Amino acid sequence: MDKSAASGYRLRIAHLYPDHMNIYGDRGNVIALRQRCTWRGIICEVVPVGPGDGVDWETIDIAFFGGGQDSGQALIAEDFLERQGPALRAAIDDGLAMLAICGGYQLLGHYFLTHTGQRLPGIGALDVYTVGGNVRLIGNVVVEVAAATLQTSVAPDPHAGPIQLVGFENHSGRTYPGAGVRPLGHVLAGHGNNGEDGTEGAVYRNTIGCYLHGSLLPKNPQLADHLIATALHRRYGNGALLAPLDDSMELAAQRAMVARLLVQR
């Protein structure tokens, strides 16, 4: 690892509603981002954003929005829509690097109609909508993602093979992507967005929504580095370099999990 390649870089991460939307270890994603920055000599500040907090989104490089119980999601939905919605949507349109999981993913869409009939409006940053089902979609997931989707360089290898991400899903919502997004990937094991069309997640510009808990980023360093690299390029230009890390242990664990889950199908 050449820490000097990233010397002097600073990134700010906004963690949306960490006290309400932090289920199945989603907080670990922010820890992973911060640690992978620290290992590279990138100064990283995490900004928790709670109900009533204002955010200058022009100063934010990465945003993370985790999942929560339906009750917790309902508690923050109005604040998110009214206080953060317009400015965050503009930042997403401008290329903000963002990861949203489960409930956070749903609230980036047009709306979430819960299984009890409650309608939670989203900010419409992602062209998706979600309808609650009576049966939860639960279990481990393998998602195949095109390498270009998770690039860390402005000149990615056109011959790179697909990447298989692993995670854990537990959601009642069935999310249906529209024409304004593309899927994060295709499900090899598990249910994905809705258990029907074989897709998982949604991507718009540099924002990714998905149902993968885990925590997701410690298990999938390729995705973590994609977010960091995207943020560096947006803040410092395409010449910003992301120093490599030794991910041999993480990738070996990822491959072992993929192999086990695909055998169990």
Active site residues: 102, 213
Q: Which two tokens stand for residue 105?
A: 């993913």
Closest CA to 163 of 97, 250, 81, 230: 250
How many residues are present in the chain?
265
Strand locations in 25-182 (E): 43-49, 62-65, 97-101, 111-113, 119-121, 128-145, 163-177
Question: Helix (H, G, I), strand (E, B), or coil: what is residue 20?
Answer: coil
Cα 26 to the center of its chain, rounded Å: 10
Using left for φ > 0, alpha for ψ between -120 and 50, and beta otherwise, residue 225 falls in alpha
Helix or strand run (H / E) with residue 36: helix 27-39
